């Protein structure tokens, strides 16, 4: 999926058209975003944007299929009591209303914490948007080009909004994937519904009252449900705006009791950054989409990479280890310093656990978080000897938020260490190779659909811009039985 090989869209590689209103911004940020979303056209997308949109769609479809039968998704389906409708529930034989499908598929997409990330957003950019778009496309139909354009528009809204609020928003305890992603979902769905600028601004204002997600619920089923809820809220916001619902589309962000003041507080945001950075470049191009190699919190990945390097280059036995020290960024340590994870979900957020797995097994895989794998005696024997720390400037450049170092001290006093400045695949400048993208998709899809359907789905996504109806793809994502 190298852009040079797969970017043959017939377009010039140029920045997308920016509406004249960008030079004379409307009073509110919602109106500004709405104008830009409405102005964005498929013909204006650079080839790189189309390439990275395909990557994001491929990865999201794969991880949603892999998460389709996780308890957080199946229990949700049962609680909703879903009935027949037009929208496919990925990896099952179910079809239901678009709103229910957005909620269930959104939850499944984040169930394994294996979905893509983005540095600007400080979270997961694709899963708030794509489950909502797929559900809407199943309900109303959509061409591949319209689908791609809506996805890129939503991606740009949520990431450029992040420019205004980070990283105070992140450290305060909000879950940006959900609190910001709901705006991406609303913008994308508004685009696919072809709403005008006024309606799109209303959809964003409605989404502001649907923004939620607390980090206190990390490590539980509620975290992936954050994503399902924001996908549903974004879709609902666009539908309500289309129907004529009202909301404060004038200053929902800037109002004294609006989004910025309530979620960040005075002095902790800068809306001008959202306007100035719009499409300069598109965020889906740079810094781009970070594809995960490991099905756990992305904040642990630099340490995993370092630990795997040690495991591959040495022959250390568990009994040889006196202690293990880990250094990651302080902001990432805050929610991953879990020395004794109690459940598989909890283990996904334990930097100690995943480093132990990497050192002992030379990899971190889906099975390491299933069937009470966190109770493995080898791992629990090593965990008390693993210590996690926040790094300072003596180890990494202060501007680098993605470094990781692991040092193993042996019983005889010798030390072995490795460090990475950022995990592989973290930005578009350091992409995961095409073969690994395909392998990840196939492994994920195999948990829910057969190999023939998986191969056809992969091919459909590779040429999604040529699909007349996205339902040609979603019909491949059904399972023969629930």
How is the chain split into domains, by residue range? Answer: 3-293+429-477, 298-420
DSSP readout, 59-70?
HHHHHHHHHTTS
Across the range 105-122, mean pLDDT stands at 96
Q: What's CA 238's distance to the chain center, in Å?
A: 21
Indicate the fold that domain 298-420 takes in CATH: 60s Ribosomal Protein L30; Chain: A; (3.30.1330)
Going by pLDDT thresholds of 50, 70 and 90, the confidence category of residue 98 is: very high
User: Residue 425: its pLDDT value, please?
Assistant: 85
45 touches 16 (CB < 8 A): yes
Residue 411 structure tokens: 């019983």
Going by pLDDT thresholds of 50, 70 and 90, the confidence category of residue 299 is: very high
Q: For residue 278, what are the contacts with CB-CB under 8 A and spacing of at least 6? A: 18, 22, 32, 36, 156, 160
Could you give the CA distance from residue 173 to residue 419 in angstroms, rounded to a whole number? 28
The one-character DSSP state at 114 is: -
DSSP readout, 265-298?
-TTS--THHHHHHTTTT-TTTTT-PBPPSSSS-G
Across the range 369-379, mean pLDDT stands at 95
User: Residue 2: its pLDDT value, please?
Assistant: 37
Backbone dihedral angles phi then psi of residue 410, each to the nearest 5 degrees: -90, 165
154 touches 205 (CB < 8 A): no
pTM: 0.87
- 3-293+429-477 — its CATH code? 1.10.4100.10
Backbone dihedral angles phi then psi of residue 154, each to the nearest 5 degrees: -65, -40
Q: Which residue has the tokens 């790094």?
A: 391
174 touches 274 (CB < 8 A): no
152 touches 278 (CB < 8 A): no
User: Residue 439: its pLDDT value, please?
Assistant: 94
The angle formed by the CA atoms of residues 87, 288 and 338, to the nearest 5 degrees, is 85
Residue 57 has pLDDT above 90, yes or no: yes
In the three-class reduction of DSSP (H, G, I as helix; E, B as strand; rest coil), residue 418 is classed as strand
User: From residue 259, how far is each of 174, 180, 241, 253, 268 by CA, in Å?
Assistant: 12, 10, 19, 5, 12
- The 10s digit of each residue's pLDDT in 381-430 is 999 999 999 999 999 998 898 899 999 999 999 999 999 998 888 888 88
User: Residue 7: its pLDDT value, please?
Assistant: 34
Across the range 148-170, mean pLDDT stands at 97
Q: Given CA atoms 399, 303, 212, 133 in this order, what sign does their dihedral have? A: positive
Residue 181 has pLDDT above 80, yes or no: yes
DSSP lists the bridge partners of residue 405 as: 327, 419
- The 10s digit of each residue's pLDDT in 194-232 is 999 999 999 999 999 999 999 999 999 999 999 999 999
In the three-class reduction of DSSP (H, G, I as helix; E, B as strand; rest coil), residue 388 is classed as strand
140: left (phi over 0), alpha (psi -120 to 50) or beta: alpha
User: Residue 14: its pLDDT value, please?
Assistant: 42
133 touches 87 (CB < 8 A): no
Could you give the CA distance from residue 369 to residue 354 in angstroms, rounded to a whole number? 10
């Amino acid at each position: 999926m190298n852009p040079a090989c797969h970017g043959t869209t017939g377009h010039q590689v140029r920045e997308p058209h920016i509406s004249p209103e960008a030079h004379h911004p409307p009073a509110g940020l919602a109106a500004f975003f709405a104008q830009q979303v409405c102005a964005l056209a498929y013909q204006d997308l650079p080839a790189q944007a189309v390439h990275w949109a395909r990557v994001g769609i491929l990865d999201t479809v794969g991880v949603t299929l892999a998460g389709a039968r996780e308890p957080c998704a199946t229990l949700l389906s049962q609680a909703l009591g879903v009935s027949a409708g037009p929208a496919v529930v990925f990896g099952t034989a179910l079809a239901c209303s678009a709103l229910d499908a957005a909620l269930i598929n959104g939850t499944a997409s984040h169930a394994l914490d294996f979905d893509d990330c983005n540095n600007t957003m400080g979270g997961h950019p694709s899963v708030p948007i794509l489950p909502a778009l797929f559900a809407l496309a199943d309900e109303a139909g959509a061409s591949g080009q319209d689908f791609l354009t809506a996805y890129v528009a939503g991606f740009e809204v949520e990431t450029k909004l992040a420019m205004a609020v980070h990283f105070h928003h992140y450290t305060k305890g909000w879950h940006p994937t959900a609190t910001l992603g709901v705006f991406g979902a609303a913008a994308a769905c508004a685009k696919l519904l072809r709403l005008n600028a006024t309606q799109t601004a209303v959809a964003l204002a409605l989404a502001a009252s649907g923004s939620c997600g607390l980090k206190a619920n990390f490590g539980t089923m509620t975290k992936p449900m954050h994503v399902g809820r924001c996908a549903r809220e974004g879709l609902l916001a666009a539908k309500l705006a289309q129907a004529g619902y009202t909301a404060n589309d004038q200053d929902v962000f800037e109002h004294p009791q609006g989004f910025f003041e309530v979620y960040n507080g005075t002095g902790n945001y800068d809306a001008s950054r959202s306007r100035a950075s719009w499409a300069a470049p598109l965020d889906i191009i740079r810094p781009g989409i970070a594809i995960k190699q490991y099905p756990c919190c992305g904040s642990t990945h630099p340490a995993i990479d370092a630990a795997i390097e040690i495991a591959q280059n040495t022959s250390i036995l568990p009994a040889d280890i006196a202690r293990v020290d880990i250094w990651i960024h302080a902001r990432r340590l805050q929610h991953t310093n879990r020395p004794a994870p109690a459940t598989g979900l909890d283990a996904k957020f334990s930097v100690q656990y995943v480093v132990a797995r990497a050192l002992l097994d030379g990899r971190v895989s889906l099975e390491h978080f299933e069937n009470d794998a966190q109770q493995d005696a080898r791992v629990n024997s090593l965990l008390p000897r693993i210590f996690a720390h926040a790094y300072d400037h003596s180890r990494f450049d202060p501007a680098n938020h993605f470094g990781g170092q692991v040092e193993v001290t042996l019983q005889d006093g010798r030390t072995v260490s490795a460090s990475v400045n950022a995990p592989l695949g973290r930005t578009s400048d350091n992409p995961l190779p095409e073969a690994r993208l395909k392998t990840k998709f196939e492994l994920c899809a195999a948990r829910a659909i057969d190999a023939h359907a998986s191969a056809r789905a992969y091919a459909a996504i590779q040429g999604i811009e040529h699909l007349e109806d996205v339902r040609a793809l979603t019909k491949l994502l059904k399972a023969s039985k629930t």
